[in-house]
């Protein structure tokens, strides 16, 4: 058994398409859709697989959409173990409006699980031998599953297994009743746990530290959201980079706009073991905030 197991009780197939403009009461001509696996734990397993890690994804599977989801996971070479259910696995719709460059995301509630199917999920997890080093419980819960489901799953694992929880609302609050290693709320969810708004890094640290001090969790990772994601890269140490590559990323200049400059940065980061997606994120964060503000790109 791989050292990491993810459990997704409310998986989905995400159908992605685009339309020129969303207009009420009219038949809209959409582009050919693309289909991708969805659901918290499955997305974690996909990322770990892409990064070369070892992981097994457990998930509930039902109907034709469930079969499609199996196929999509196989195509991405994700090691997975479907748990059969009677109802159909859900399908979400993500629509991109080209005229406004806005995305509309329609999430369905998911398949209703029977009491026997909920118990089957517990049994499958408990039957894993040997137990994983990490258990990732991620995503929303479907109808028919109580808010304490994740807490029960985490509490049933041996002390050698580190449980990671990434969910929201009632399941997040109830999940903290179990022994957790790590919890990953966003700023809004962290505020709900604290009973107040969380707006800056100081408040994030205060609330996170209070959860740790109360013994509810050993580590807290807070996602900052789309408006603050570039700040993540501000904390990235650039000292290992060659001086010329470091200058391109840290000093006001237009080298990041030149192909030769981008190639030099990319090659330097690849040599240090960076994943291409993280390289793209770093360059994008520097371009959007630093270059576009310092240079007049309209001329």
Distance between CA atoms of 176 and 111, rounded to whole angstroms? 25
Compute the C-alpha angle 168/169/175, nearest 5°: 75
Predicted confidence pLDDT, tens digits, the chain (299 residues): 679 999 999 999 999 999 999 999 999 999 999 999 999 999 999 999 998 999 999 999 999 999 999 999 999 999 999 999 999 999 999 999 999 989 999 999 999 999 999 999 999 999 999 999 999 999 999 998 999 999 999 999 998 999 999 999 999 999 999 999 999 998 889 888 888 888 888 888 899 999 999 888 999 998 876 666 666 677 778 888 888 888 878 775 666 667 888 888 899 889 888 888 888 888 877 776 654 444 444 43
**Residues pairing with 166 in the sheet:** 138
Annotated domain spans of the chain: 4-145, 160-227, 230-294
Instruction: Please check whether residue 60 is in contact with residue 90, taking contact to mean a CB–CB distance below 8 angstroms.
Output: no
Distance between CA atoms of 240 and 268, rounded to whole angstroms? 9
Distance between CA atoms of 80 and 78, rounded to whole angstroms? 6
CB count within 10 Å of CB 247 equals 14
Of 258, 282, 259, nearest in space to 270 by CA? 282
The per-residue pLDDT for 228 is 64
Instruction: Please check whether residue 109 is in contact with residue 143, taking contact to mean a CB–CB distance below 8 angstroms.
Output: yes
The per-residue pLDDT for 46 is 95
CB count within 10 Å of CB 50 equals 14
CB count within 10 Å of CB 210 equals 13
List C-alpha distances in Å: 168 to 183, 224, 225.
10, 15, 15
| Complete edge-to-edge strand list for the sheet that includes strand 180-183 | 80-84, 55-61, 4-8, 134-138, 162-166, 180-183, 217-220
Distance between CA atoms of 80 and 72, rounded to whole angstroms? 11
Which two structure tokens, joined as six digits, stand for 209?
């530290």
Under CATH, which architecture does the 4-145 domain have?
A: 3-Layer(aba) Sandwich (3.40)
Instruction: Please check whether residue 166 is in contact with residue 193, taking contact to mean a CB–CB distance below 8 angstroms.
Output: no
The per-residue pLDDT for 299 is 39
User: Is the four-CA dihedral 195, 200, 203, 204 of positive or negative sign?
Assistant: positive
CB count within 10 Å of CB 209 equals 11
DSSP string, 120-163: HHHHHHHT-SSPPSEEEEES---TT--TTHHHHHHHTS-TTSEE
List C-alpha distances in Å: 119 to 18, 83, 193, 224, 232.
40, 11, 28, 35, 40
The per-residue pLDDT for 278 is 82
């Amino acid at each position: 058994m791989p050292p990491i197991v993810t459990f997704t009780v409310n998986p989905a197939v995400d159908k992605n398409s685009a339309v020129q403009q969303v207009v009420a009461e009219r038949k809209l001509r959409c582009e050919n859709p693309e289909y991708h696996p969805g659901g918290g734990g499955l997305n974690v397993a996909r990322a770990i697989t892409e990064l070369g890690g070892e992981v097994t994804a457990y998930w509930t599977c039902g109907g034709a959409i469930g079969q499609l989801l199996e196929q999509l996971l196989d195509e991405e070479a994700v090691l997975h173990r479907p748990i059969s259910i009677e109802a159909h696995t859900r399908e979400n719709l993500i629509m991109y409006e080209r005229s406004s460059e806005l995305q509309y995301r329609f999430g369905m509630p998911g398949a209703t699980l029977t009491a026997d199917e909920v118990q089957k999920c517990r049994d499958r997890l408990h039957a894993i031998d040997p137990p994983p080093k990490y258990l990732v419980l991620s995503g929303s819960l479907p109808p028919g599953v109580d808010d304490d489901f994740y807490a029960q799953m985490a509490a049933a694992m041996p002390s050698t297994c580190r449980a990671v929880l990434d969910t929201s609302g009632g399941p997040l609050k109830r999940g903290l009743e179990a022994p957790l290693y790590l919890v990953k709320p966003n700023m809004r969810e962290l505020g709900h746990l604290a009973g107040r708004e969380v707006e800056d890094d100081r408040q994030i640290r205060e609330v996170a530290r209070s959860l740790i001090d109360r013994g509810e969790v050993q580590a807290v990772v807070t996602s900052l959201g789309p408006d603050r994601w570039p700040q993540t890269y501000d904390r990235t140490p650039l000292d290992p980079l060659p001086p010329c590559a470091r200058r391109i990323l840290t000093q006001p200049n237009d080298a990041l706009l030149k192909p030769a400059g981008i190639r030099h940065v990319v090659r330097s980061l690849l040599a240090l073991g960076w994943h291409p997606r993280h390289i793209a994120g770093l360059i994008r964060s520097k371009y959007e905030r630093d270059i576009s503000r310092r240079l007049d790109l309209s001329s």
